Amino acid sequence: MAEGNQPMDNLGGFANPRFVLINGCFWNSNLTRRYIQGQVWLNEFTNLLLESFLQLHGSPMYGKKLWNKETNTHEYVRRPLQQLGSLEILKYGEKHACTLYRPREFNPMQFGRRTEELLALRNDMTHEVGKWTQADTRDTLKKLLEKMVIVSEYLVKCSRHDVQLHNSIRKFKSSCERELDQMRRLEYKDLY
Q: Does residue 117 belong to any structural domain of this protein?
A: yes
CB atoms near residue 66 (< 10 Å) = 10
Q: Which residue has the higher pLDDT, 79 or 147?
A: 147
Q: Does residue 191 belong to any structural domain of this protein?
A: no
CA dist., res. 155 & res. 45, Å (int): 10
Q: Does residue 160 belong to any structural domain of this protein?
A: yes
Q: Does residue 81 belong to any structural domain of this protein?
A: yes
Could you list the residue range(s) of the whole structural domain that residue 19 is in? 7-186
CA dist., res. 83 & res. 96, Å (int): 18
The amino acid occupying position 141 is: L
How many structural domains does the chain have?
A: 1
Strand pairing category for 61-68 and 25-28: unpaired
Give the sign of the dihedral formed by CA 39, CA 40, CA 43, CA 45: negative
Q: Does residue 61 belong to any structural domain of this protein?
A: yes
* Beta-carbon contacts of residue 2 (< 8 Å; ≥ 6 apart): 11, 12, 13, 14, 21, 24
Q: Does residue 80 belong to any structural domain of this protein?
A: yes
Is the model's pLDDT at 153 over the cut of 80?
Answer: yes
The residue among 116, 135, 132 whose CA lies nearest residue 124 is 132
pLDDT at position 173 is 92
Is the model's pLDDT at 7 over the cut of 60?
Answer: no
Q: Does residue 1 belong to any structural domain of this protein?
A: no
In the structure, what pLDDT confidence band is assigned to residue 171 with cuts at 50, 70 and 90? very high
Question: In degrees rounded to 5, what are phi and psi of residue 2?
Answer: -80, -25
What does the pLDDT look like over 69-95, one tens digit per residue? 888 888 877 788 888 888 888 888 888
Cβ atoms of 124 and 140 within 8 Å: the answer is yes
Q: Does residue 66 belong to any structural domain of this protein?
A: yes
Instruction: Please give the mean pLDDT across all residues of the chain.
Output: 74
If you ran DSSP here, which 8-state letter would residue 5 be given? S
CA dist., res. 89 & res. 83, Å (int): 10
